[in-house]
Structure 1
């Protein structure tokens, strides 16, 4: 059986066991997770999420970079158009992880990373690309400094260890800023 056939078979099982046409576009946990595309670090698996519980934005490194902020703006518009409100009562989780594949890019493709982050190569060290504990704190700080995000978000910075499966809280939950 080839990969596509396997995936289609799994989809059929999904339609029989987990699919629900009644799910809302607004997640039931009012949670948005920014995480890495690394296949070892799927937030749905790590947190045991069910369909419809959270919005997951995945990118290289799970970083807050210009495209992530743009996606968040679009999600805010979608939520508003669907009758919801993005902000107060919502959880925003920034999830970085150990042994991230973004680290070698710093040495082998710094120009590519600089373009990704929208910074000059000389500023890449400021982003703590090789240290997930420092980088998650930097990204939470960037979110808190962004006046375009709703002040009422409760933001948390977490790091997942790919060797143990455990999560460390690096930045405890706090509002982005006073409303």
Structure 2
């Protein structure tokens, strides 16, 4: 059986046993998690979220880049179009992790300056090699975005060796 066939078979089991057509477009916990593409860091599994509770944006390193902010703003507009009465309590969680593959290419300014949209001399400020510093930087970037005003933002680091998350930046009223 091919990988695709196995995935389709799993989908059929999902559709028969766990599919819920009542789920809404907006996550029930009014939370969006920004995290890495690394398969060890599945935010629903790591944070114990059920289907439909969180929205997830994944990218290399789980980083907040200008593109990430653009995606958040688009999702915000989709939410408004779908349900004009946006809940008052909304949250963004930046979830980065230890042993991130992005650290393996932190010397690749040719790639990372474009990804983060920064000049090479400013690349060290994005803290590619330090997940705690990166989370702090990325939460600050989100909190500074005026279009995200009114959204609580916090930052966590997931340890891939222990399975635990550590709160690096606690939520606060924006």
Instruction: State the TM-score, normalizing by the size of structure 2.
Output: 0.96
SS in structure 1 of the partner of residue 72 of structure 2? helix
Task: Tell me, in whole angstroms, the C-alpha distance in 2 between the residues paired with 1:10 and 1:47.
Answer: 23
Q: Does 2:168 align with 1:157?
A: no
Q: What is the alpha-carbon distance in structure 2 between the residues aligned to residue 173 and residue 9 of structure 1?
A: 40
Instruction: List aligned pairs for 1:21-170, cutoff 5 A.
Output: 21-86=21-86, 88-107=88-107, 109-149=108-148, 151-170=149-168
Contact 1:87/1:152, CA 8 A, preserved across alignment:
no
Task: Report the CA distance between 1:22 and its aligned residue.
Answer: 1.4
> 1:85: how far off?
4.7
Dislocated runs of 4+, deviation >4 Å? 84-87
TM-score using structure 1 length: 0.93
- Write the deviation string for residues 45-103 of structure 1: whole angstroms up to 9, x where unpaired: 11122211111000011110011011101101110011145573011100010000111
**Two-structure CA RMSD over aligned residues (Å):** 1.2
CA distance in 2, matches of 1:63, 1:87: 25
Q: Report how many aligned residue pairs link the two structures.
A: 174
SS of corresponding position for 1:173 = coil
Contact 2:23 2:52 in 1 (8 A): yes
Unaligned runs of 5+ in 1: none
Q: Which residue of 2 aligns with 1:9?
A: 9
Other structure's SS at 1:155 match: strand
Q: Is the 8 A contact 1:98 1:161 kept in 2?
A: yes
